[in-house]
Structure 1
Amino acid sequence: MPSKAERLAPVIDMAERAERESAKRLGQGQTLLTQAQEKLADLDRYYSDYQQQWMTEGSQGVSGQWLMNYQRFLSQLETAIGQQQRNVAWHRDNLAKLRQDWQQRHARLEGLRKLVERHLQEARVAADKREQKMLDEFCQRLAGRSRPH
């Protein structure tokens, strides 16, 4: 009959797989958040560069058409930055959920490993007691045989 620890082996395997998959999703979530933050930083730099261009061009005088195009483009850029900020926030929230999922799966796996270790320790103690009992019985039989009758 398999021991308690042996019966838990498939459960441990499943928990390890689930923890690895969760860690993988956590890593992917971190990558996506980093990419979203980089894209937002790029948009912010582009916005700053465009404003600097306005300062340069505007000081030399611009046409009404150029000004309208500039304002339209700046508005579109502000919209894109707002959307990207929401995208970053979503990825940040998602990463927090992925981290929590991984922590739960990791804690479950560690709990199962401790349970298996406890079962193994109990089995070792029980085996040691059986061995000691057998040795005691063997010594008693030997002592009984060596007494003169």
Structure 2
Amino acid sequence: MAKPGKGLLAVEEYARRKEQGALKAFGESQTVLQQGLQQLLDLERFRSEYHSQMLQKGTQSTRMAVLQHYRRFIEQLDQVIGQQQQRNTTLEEDVKLKRQAWLVTRNEKKRYEKLRERAREEAISRELLQEQATLDDQAGRRS
């Protein structure tokens, strides 16, 4: 069976490695985003718990300084939550970009695979035509 040229195989292998790298980067960016989303959930849960504690302390005879401490800490948590939300937005954009890059490299790899398959089929057709021509030539000599 005929094989496509080594150059085409090398290009296809390069495209395959490039696609694997893009897929790995895409997967890693998804993992980082999931971690960021989990961190945001944890921060929001912690803020809610701390806010509940502050409300509970407010119903008791608690010193004003303690309540102010709770309020300041909740404000700081709100800032951190806002920063995490912004970070997650950036991470979501990164995931979209990495996904798009992966899709581009995947399509490129598929084009090279199709090109190689077409070259293989053409080589087989040439071999069959050559064999048929040889058989026809031999049959013509016998007649």
Bin of the TM-score, shorter chain as denominator length:
over 0.9
What is the TM-score with the length of structure 1 in the denominator?
0.90
- Please tell me whether residue 110 in structure 1 is matched to residue 110 in structure 2: yes
Matched residues in 1 for 2:30 and 2:5: separation?
36
In structure 2, the residue matched to 1:14 is 14
Stretches of structure 1 lacking an aligned partner (at least 5 in a row): 144-149
User: How far is the alpha carbon of 1:5 from its aligned partner?
Assistant: 3.7
SS of match in other structure, 1:17: helix
Matched residues in 2 for 1:58 and 1:139: separation?
107
Matched residues in 1 for 2:34 and 2:76: separation?
23
User: How far is the alpha carbon of 1:4 from its aligned partner?
Assistant: 5.2
Matched residues in 1 for 2:55 and 2:73: separation?
15
User: How far is the alpha carbon of 1:123 from its aligned partner?
Assistant: 0.8
> Percent identity at matched positions?
32
In structure 1, the residue matched to 2:86 is 86
In structure 2, the residue matched to 1:64 is 64
In structure 1, the residue matched to 2:41 is 41
Matched residues in 2 for 1:98 and 1:61: separation?
55
In structure 2, the residue matched to 1:73 is 73
Q: Which stretch shows the higher mean deviation, 57-66 or 91-100?
A: 57-66
Matched residues in 1 for 2:66 and 2:95: separation?
42
Query: Whose Rg is larger?
Result: 1
Q: Which stretch shows the higher mean deviation, 63-72 or 30-39?
A: 63-72
In structure 1, the residue matched to 2:26 is 26
Matched residues in 2 for 1:5 and 1:121: separation?
13
Amino acid at match of 1:43: L
User: How far is the alpha carbon of 1:101 from its aligned partner?
Assistant: 0.3
Matched residues in 2 for 1:141 and 1:62: separation?
114
Amino acid at match of 1:120: R
Instruction: State whether residues 19 and 106 of structure 2, in contact with CA within 8 Å, keep that contact through their aligned partners in structure 1.
Output: yes
In structure 2, the residue matched to 1:138 is 138
Matched residues in 2 for 1:91 and 1:63: separation?
42
Matched residues in 2 for 1:15 and 1:71: separation?
56
What is the TM-score with the length of structure 2 in the denominator?
0.94
